[in-house]
Amino acid sequence: MRSASKTMGANSNVAQVIINNLGGITSLVQQLILYKGAQALPQELWILNIKTNINTPAIIDPDLHGTVNQFCIDPADNWYYTYGKLANALSKKEGILVSNDQYDLIMLQAFNIPRKVVQLVHDPYNVTLALKFHECIDIFIAHSHYIYDSLLQQLPAREGDIFHLPYGIPISASFQKKHNQYQPLQLLFIGRHDKAKGVYDLFEINRLLKEKAIPVQWTILGKGPETENLKAQWINEPNVKFETPINTEGVLQAALHNDVLVFPTKFEGFPVALLEAMSMGCVPVVTDLPGGIRELVEDGITGYKCGMDDNIAFAATIQSLHFNREFLYQLQLEVTDLVSNNFDVKKQAPLYQELFKRTAANPAAPLHHQVHKKIGSRLDQAWLPNFITQSIRKFT
């Protein structure tokens, strides 16, 4: 394999690698590319299609046409066959690999590529990956203070390689939030439709509000493995609509026409959906989780936090906002200012790209070049033909 320990040239770029899932990480990575700035290295988006993946596929912004590469991973394959092909594909250029999950990190344990490796550490799951694969990662970028501090505590020898850098979202300066004084509150959910996002809690919150005679209208955005079951749960409720926006602009427009983001999630890092909704004046009522949520949501100032699974608290908070419309409007102005002043992608994305560029220019060889580990099981061997591994796995 070629070495990356030389001056950057025309053959250098940034390869952003994601799994083909609809969700906040996909949105975040696309925004890093779309708003990279004039001084950034060229960009590629690598989408990993995992054969056994049941999640809803990503929606790719049409403006990324020409930068998108697809790569298929079959878990039944011999890992040395699959990851060898991926390494060859990513070795056609030098520069940076930006990792968002485990697959490319597994590859780096056994194969050298001419790229430095940057891990975006979104949440506690990515922290576990950072600890497991830290020998392969040149720098770590944490979105929240909570994740940043966690990495510093658990990887003290890597302090100089750990950075805290909030990401950004597109900010629209040409909108005006309508003051909903008399109509039913417009409640919004944004996210992947799975149990970890608390999608089934929405129906219970709605039931509690009906008991209190609080009129509301729901907009549930997104898709996922629970979409059909979720729609069936709401089939007799007239106050809900389901939508799947095709891009970030669609999400922002939906948020503009809603009053409150209801987000009873069970697991988060620094949720993109939260920033998107707040940027358009949606006041968050969200699960109290460590990380980005606590950094964004201050009770009574930029929203409200409720205990996990405490649907009674969610309903009570929404009821209070229903009866305090002037205060709700002031909160809407506060959340809009918070996001526009601190999380503008036009400011944040170039900061990421500058860090990528500095890392790529470092003359030292990528750290993973020092790692030579066995990957996979006994059926994963460099010398074993892939068809033998596949045949055994598929018939056992």
Q: What CATH number corresponds to the domain at position 58?
A: 3.40.50.2000
Are 195 and 238 found together in one domain? yes
Query: Structural domain tally of the chain?
Result: 2
- Residue 173 inside a domain? The answer is no
Of the spans 161-165, 220-224, 270-274, which averages the highest pLDDT?
A: 161-165
Phi, psi at 188, each rounded to 5° = -125, 140
8 A C-beta contact, residue 256 and residue 106: no
Are 157 and 299 found together in one domain? no
pLDDT tens digit string along 10-64?
799 999 999 999 888 999 999 999 999 999 999 999 999 999 998 889 889 889 9
Among 299, 319, 342, identify where a domain stops.
342
Are 337 and 354 found together in one domain? no
- Residue 178 inside a domain? The answer is no
d(CA 148, CA 223) in angstroms, rounded, equals 30
Phi, psi at 344, each rounded to 5° = -80, 120
- Residue 2 inside a domain? The answer is no
Rg (CA), the chain: 22
d(CA 381, CA 396) in angstroms, rounded, equals 18
What confidence tier does 396 reach under pLDDT thresholds 50, 70, 90? confident
Contacts 24+ apart (CB under 8 A), 118-125: 118/355, 118/356, 118/359, 120/25, 120/28, 120/29, 121/147, 121/151, 121/269, 122/24, 122/25, 122/28, 122/147, 122/269, 122/270, 123/147, 123/267, 123/268, 123/269, 123/270, 123/291, 124/150, 124/267, 124/269
Are 235 and 128 found together in one domain? no
Among 318, 342, 366, identify where a domain stops.
342
Are 352 and 336 found together in one domain? no
What confidence tier does 83 reach under pLDDT thresholds 50, 70, 90? very high
**Amino acid 6: pLDDT:** 45
- Residue 267 inside a domain? The answer is yes
Are 16 and 144 found together in one domain? yes
Are 112 and 128 found together in one domain? yes
- Residue 114 inside a domain? The answer is yes
Are 79 and 120 found together in one domain? yes
- The least confident of 1-10, 72-81, 194-203, 272-281 is 1-10
Are 61 and 118 found together in one domain? yes
Are 189 and 338 found together in one domain? yes
Are 108 and 126 found together in one domain? yes
- The least confident of 35-44, 166-175, 209-218 is 166-175
- Residue 78 inside a domain? The answer is yes
**Amino acid 269: pLDDT:** 87
**Closest to 321 (Cα-Cα) out of 217, 181, 204, 189:** 181
What confidence tier does 9 reach under pLDDT thresholds 50, 70, 90? low
**Amino acid 221: pLDDT:** 96
What secondary structure does DSSP assign to 277-323, as a single string?
A: HHHTTPEEEEE--TTHHHHH--BTTTBEEE-TT-HHHHHHHHHHHHT
pLDDT tens digit string along 103-124?
999 999 999 999 999 999 999 9
| Segments forming the whole domain that contains residue 128 | 12-168+345-394
Are 327 and 352 found together in one domain? no
- Residue 4 inside a domain? The answer is no
Phi, psi at 48, each rounded to 5° = -90, 120
233, with CB counted inside 10 A (0-12, 13-18, 19+), is middle
- Residue 135 inside a domain? The answer is yes
**Amino acid 8: pLDDT:** 60
